[in-house]
């Protein structure tokens, strides 16, 4: 995504590491389903390795999200929505995914605003 686009001068790149490439792919697939609501914001996803490249698919454990927007306000609103969605994805992974349960890959997020660790609850059926 080019940073020199005059129509979308406000940019932000967010790199989100995951414990495995499979979890990064799941996050990519989940988050990329919904398009941006505003035509004033553009978003692109890709998977990269920790060094910023991705020659081997097994090393692509970082979800790279690039935002471009017409104004800082539009960028902020879009990124806030992205973090809400990312929080849900991470919490579901933490609660239900075998890789995260065994690796405890998200325990460093304790205390981060918007991330709740160890959510518990019951279903409507009480299970």
- Taking CA 120 as the corner, what is the angle to CA 117 and CA 122, rounded to the nearest 5 degrees? 155
Helices (H), the chain: 21-31, 72-96, 98-103
Q: What CATH number did the domain enclosing 81 receive?
A: 3.30.310.50
Domain coverage including residue 34? 10-105
78 falls within a domain? yes
- In tens, the pLDDT along 12-71 reads 999 999 999 999 999 999 999 999 999 999 999 999 998 887 777 778 999 999 999 999
60 falls within a domain? yes
113 falls within a domain? no
Mean pLDDT, the chain, integer: 83
26 falls within a domain? yes
Whether the predicted model's global pTM rises above the 0.75 cut: no
Instruction: Check residue 123 and give its pLDDT.
Output: 55
d(Cα 15, Cα 85) in Å, to the nearest integer? 15
Instruction: Check residue 3 and give its pLDDT.
Output: 47
Lowest-confidence range among 1-10, 18-27, 58-67, 97-106?
97-106
31 falls within a domain? yes
27 falls within a domain? yes
């Amino acid at each position: 995504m080019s940073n020199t686009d005059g129509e979308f001068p406000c940019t932000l790149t967010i790199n989100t590491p995951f414990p495995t490439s499979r979890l990064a792919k799941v996050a990519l697939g989940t988050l990329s389903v919904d398009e941006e609501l505003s035509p004033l914001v553009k978003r692109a996803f890709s998977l990269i390795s920790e060094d910023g490249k991705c020659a081997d698919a097994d090393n692509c454990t970082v979800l790279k999200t690039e935002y471009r927007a017409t104004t800082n306000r539009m960028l902020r609103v879009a990124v806030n929505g992205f973090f809400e969605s990312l929080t849900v994805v991470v919490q579901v992974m933490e609660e239900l995914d075998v890789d995260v349960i065994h690796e405890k890959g998200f325990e460093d997020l304790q205390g981060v605003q918007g991330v709740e660790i160890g959510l518990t609850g019951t279903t409507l059926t009480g299970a």
